[in-house]
Amino acid sequence: MNKLIEFKQVSKQYQVGEVKIKALDGVDFLINEGEFVVILGASGAGKSTILNILGGMDTATAGQVFVGGQDITRFKDRQLTAYRGEQVGFVFQFYNLIPNLNALENVEFATEVCSDHLDAKRILDQVGLRDRARSFPSQLSGGEQQRVAIARAVAKNPLLLLCDEPTGALDYVTGKSVLKLLQDLNRDTKKCVVLVTHNTAIAPIADKVIKVRSGRIESVTINTNKQSIEGIEW
């Protein structure tokens, strides 16, 4: 399998007044093309910091981050903006949809800047929202809004899909169906998915599990017997 992402001795320090906070401290890991990766860890472990640096939303204090062979820590602002806009699809806990655009418009708006984007209607169809394309976020359930957010991310046709606690605001059954959608998309499109969670029960659905603790990598495990989301409970 080809290497897609490499973190090399990545550190991140935040300065809050007089206090220095070490969010990441020498983080190393590899992710291959097409992998479904779960980043696990307790609150404050550094999971979101890893995802934000990988997505070009934050910058490392030290170290290198290679994505598709390019060191994104060396990118100038414009390159980073282009990388974020075109190569990365984000899915957040609280959907972040634009309230006065309907579902279809939310997806189309996100893909406008992407030269290689997919058809918004087709992707909405794929996430099971064909009949809700004209609905506004306030008219959709949490699970439906998250499906729009996933469609928005996928329609950009990005290199990677980054998901930060995508089921954090959803009930058990809806959360499971959103994870199933992400798992299906990963299988069908071969896009790399990196999902951050504190829920250890989700780990068996991943190809690779990266455990983070106090800003360091505790372990990296390859699941030889990856499970389907239907097969696990918590």
Ligand X SMILES: Nc1ncnc2c1ncn2[C@@H]1O[C@H](COP(=O)(O)OP(=O)(O)OP(=O)(O)O)[C@@H](O)[C@H]1O
Q: Shortest approach of ligand X to residue 172 CB, angstroms?
A: 19
Q: Shortest approach of ligand X to residue 52 CB, angstroms?
A: 7
Q: Quick one: 7 or 107, whose CB is closer to ligand X? A: 7
Q: Which residues bind ligand X (CB under 6 A)?
A: 14, 16, 21, 23, 41, 43-49, 198
Nearest to 145 by CA among 182, 91, 70, 68: 91
Q: Quick one: 14 or 94, whose CB is closer to ligand X? A: 14
Q: Shortest approach of ligand X to residue 215 CB, angstroms?
A: 7
Q: Quick one: 8 or 198, whose CB is closer to ligand X? A: 198
For the chain, the residue count is: 234
Q: Quick one: 48 or 87, whose CB is closer to ligand X? A: 48
Q: Shortest approach of ligand X to residue 14 CB, angstroms?
A: 3
SS3 per residue for the chain: CCEEEEEEEEEEEEEECCEEEEEEEEEEEEEECCCEEEEECCCCCCHHHHHHHHCCCCCCCEEEEEECCEEHHHCCHHHHHHHHHHHEEEECCCCCCCCCCCHHHHHHHHHCCCCCCCCHHHHHHHCCCHHHCCCCHHHCCHHHHHHHHHHHHHHCCCCEEEEECCCCCCCHHHHHHHHHHHHHHHHHHCCEEEEEECCHHHHHHCCEEEEEECCEEEEEEECCCCCCHHHCCC
Q: Shortest approach of ligand X to residue 164 CB, angstroms?
A: 8
Q: Shortest approach of ligand X to residue 22 CB, angstroms?
A: 8
Q: Quick one: 108 or 164, whose CB is closer to ligand X? A: 164
Q: Quick one: 54 or 127, whose CB is closer to ligand X? A: 54
